[in-house]
Amino acid sequence: MTLADEFRTRNFSIYGQWVGVLCIVLCFALGIANLFHVHWVIIFSIICLVSAFIILFIEIPLLLRICPTSAGFDNFIRRFATNYMRAAIYLVLSIVQWLSLIAKATSLIAAAVFLLIAAVCYALAGLKKQEFMSSKTLGGQGIAQMIV
């Protein structure tokens, strides 16, 4: 199944996963960019950077197999195997970044918006009772099993 075929399935979990990949890039870039503020918005920048790495392991399951991680971290990441749990984690991460507005209005708002979009995609997949589908391009159903 090609990437275009995956998008044609109209499964919102695929959309959520690809928005999540965009969130990885945004959170990493914006987290680094906002580290240079001489303000307590730095705390939200660090949280944004940590969020990027958490999302990286959630959205690209292949990394759990090839990166040396602890059993506790693996169990934490495996909790987010359903649409509703992924929607929940993205919503929490989004709310944290929205709270950065208390400190100062920065570009972290863009991360908050895209995290919210990913949460909505996963929530819609859950509400429409769509089965969770992981993109094969990102190491989903087929690739991760080939490595073991």
Q: Does some domain include residue 2?
A: no
pLDDT for residue 53 is more than 90: yes
Q: Does some domain include residue 43?
A: yes
Kindly report, residue by residue over 7-34, the tens digit of the pLDDT: 667 788 888 999 999 999 999 999 999 9
Helices (H), 34-80: 42-59, 62-66, 71-78
Show the domain range for 13: 9-147
- 41: tokens are 């918005």
Q: Does some domain include residue 1?
A: no
Q: 């990286």: which residue's tokens?
A: 56
pLDDT for residue 143 is more than 80: no
Mean pLDDT of the region 36-41: 85
Q: Does some domain include residue 71?
A: yes
Our count of domains for the chain comes to 1
Predicted pLDDT at 60? 86
Confidence band (pLDDT; 50, 70, 90) for 146?
Answer: very low
Q: What is the pTM of this model?
A: 0.86
Mean pLDDT of the region 129-135: 78
Buried/exposed 9-46: b ≥16 CB within 10 Å, e otherwise: eebbbbbbbbbbbebbebbbbbbeebeeeeeebeebbe
Q: Does some domain include residue 123?
A: yes
Predicted pLDDT at 40? 87
Q: Does some domain include residue 4?
A: no
Per the model's pLDDT, the better-predicted residue between 28 and 103 turns out to be: 28
